[in-house]
Amino acid sequence: MKRGSEALYESQTFEAILERMLARIPDSMDKREGSVIYDALAPNAAELAQAYVELDTQISLVFPNPDNEEYLDKSVAWSGTERKEAIKAQWRGKFYNNQNELMDVPIGSRYSIEELNYVVISKLGVGQFSVECETAGVIGNKYTGTLLPIDFIDGLAKAELVDLLVSGEDVESGEALFDRYQDKVTKPITSANKNQYVVWAREVSGVGDAKVFPLWNGNATVKVVILNNDKRTPSPAVVQAVQMHIDPTQDGHGEGAAPIGPVVTVVGAGEVPINVSVRVQLARDATPEDVKEQLEASISKYLEGLAFNDTDTLVRITRIANFILDVPPVIDYFDLTINGVTSNIQVPLDSVAVLGMVDVHV
C-alpha cells in the first residue's frame, strides 16, 4: 500500500463492479437497467463495493499511514505509542498593588492578554502565582507582559506574565506520531539501550527528537540532548519535563523511567547560526529581496533535515549554492560565504544548525 491518503481499493466502485458483472453476461440477453439481470446483479455490486470500503479500513488499521488521521491512532496503538495531547502553557505571574508591592490574588481569578485568557492555579510565593492559559497549544507561549483582570480584584494595580514554567504544545501531528512509531518498531529497544532513552525523551510533549551520549561524564552517566518540534533548542520548561520523566533525582536510584544505576542529564541542543552572504546577478526587474525570501525557506528546510542526522553533520556550501541557482530570477552568483568562510560548516554532535542572517546583494 502506498504511503499516502489514496485508498488501495478506491477504484472498486459500485459502477465498476456492476460493469464487470454485466460484461460476463452474453450480449444476447437483456442487460439494460431495469431488466431482470440488471436488477439481480445491482444489489450484489452494491454490497461488494461496501466490502471493498471496509477492506480499505482494515488495511488502514493494519498498516499505519501518517496521512490517514482517521485510523492512525488505532493502527499504532498495539505498539504502546499514543498521540501526545495538547498542553496548556503555564507562566509565572506577578501581581502588584498601588504601592508597587507584590500582593496575593485569588486562586481561580482570570486575566487576559491579547486574545488569550489565563487563570491563576497555584501560589509560588508572595504575589507570585502559576498562571495557566485557558487555550491549549503553543499559542499560550506567545505573549509576555501586562495582564488585564477579567474580574475586579480589590487593590490590584498591575499584573504581568514573566517566566514560562510549562511550555504549551499543540496536539501531536500525524507525521510526528508516525515518526515516533517507526522509531519504536524499527530500532531495537532493550535494557535501557540508547534507543530506549530516545523513546523516553520523545514521549514528552514538546520534544521532536533526541540524541543520546553514553558515558559522557564517566561511568554510569548518560546525556540526553533534545530538540523541540521545530528542530530547535527547546524551552527550559520542556528540558525540565524530560529530566523529570527520565531521571528526576539524578542520583542513580531509578526514580524515573531510567533504570537503577545511570545518572541522566537532559539538556537542550546547542544552536549554530548559519549566516549566508552572496552576490547575485539577477534577471531584469528582480530584486535581492525576492531571492532572499525563497533562499531563506530553502535553507531552513535543508537545516531541519540535518538536525541530529547521524550520517551528515556538515552544512555544505555546495547545497547552499544549488539553492541559490534554484531561485528563478538568479542568473549567476558570486562571493558566496557561510559564516564568513567559503567551506563547509561542521556542526557539533550535540548541536543543530539554524538559519541566521541571509545577505543577498547585487
Residue-wise pLDDT for 305-357, tens only, equals 999 998 889 999 999 999 999 999 999 999 999 999 999 999 999 999 999 99
Q: What per-residue string of b and e applies to 325-359 under the rule 16 or more CB within 10 Å gives b?
A: eebebbeebeebebbeeeeebebeeebbbbbeebe
The answer on 279 and 259 residing in a single domain is no
pLDDT bracket for residue 302 (50, 70, 90):
very high
The answer on 126 and 162 residing in a single domain is yes
| Nearest alpha-carbon partner for 345 in 324, 314, 323 | 314
The answer on 263 and 218 residing in a single domain is yes
pLDDT bracket for residue 4 (50, 70, 90):
very low
Number of domains composing the chain: 4
The answer on 156 and 115 residing in a single domain is yes
- Domain end marker among 166, 199, 214: 166
The answer on 100 and 42 residing in a single domain is no
Cβ–Cβ < 8 Å for 308, 227:
yes
Residue 91: phi and psi, rounded to 5, are -125, 160
pLDDT of res. 5 = 44
Task: Give the tens place of pLDDT for each residue, 68-97.
Answer: 787 888 888 888 889 999 999 999 999 999
pLDDT bracket for residue 222 (50, 70, 90):
very high
- Domain end marker among 268, 298, 323: 268
Task: Give the tens place of pLDDT for each residue, 82-138.
Answer: 999 999 999 999 999 999 999 999 999 999 999 999 999 999 999 999 999 999 999
Residue 148 structural domain = 90-166
pLDDT of res. 60 = 67
181 falls within a domain: no
Total-model pTM: 0.72
Task: Give the tens place of pLDDT for each residue, 34-80.
Answer: 999 999 999 999 999 999 888 877 776 777 878 778 788 888 888 88
The answer on 258 and 289 residing in a single domain is no
79 falls within a domain: no
73 falls within a domain: no
Mean per-residue pLDDT over the chain, rounded: 91
- Domain end marker among 268, 284, 308: 268
pLDDT of res. 2 = 40
Whether the predicted pLDDT of 1 surpasses 60: no
Task: Give the tens place of pLDDT for each residue, 289-300.
Answer: 989 999 999 999
178 falls within a domain: no
76 falls within a domain: no
The answer on 283 and 354 residing in a single domain is yes
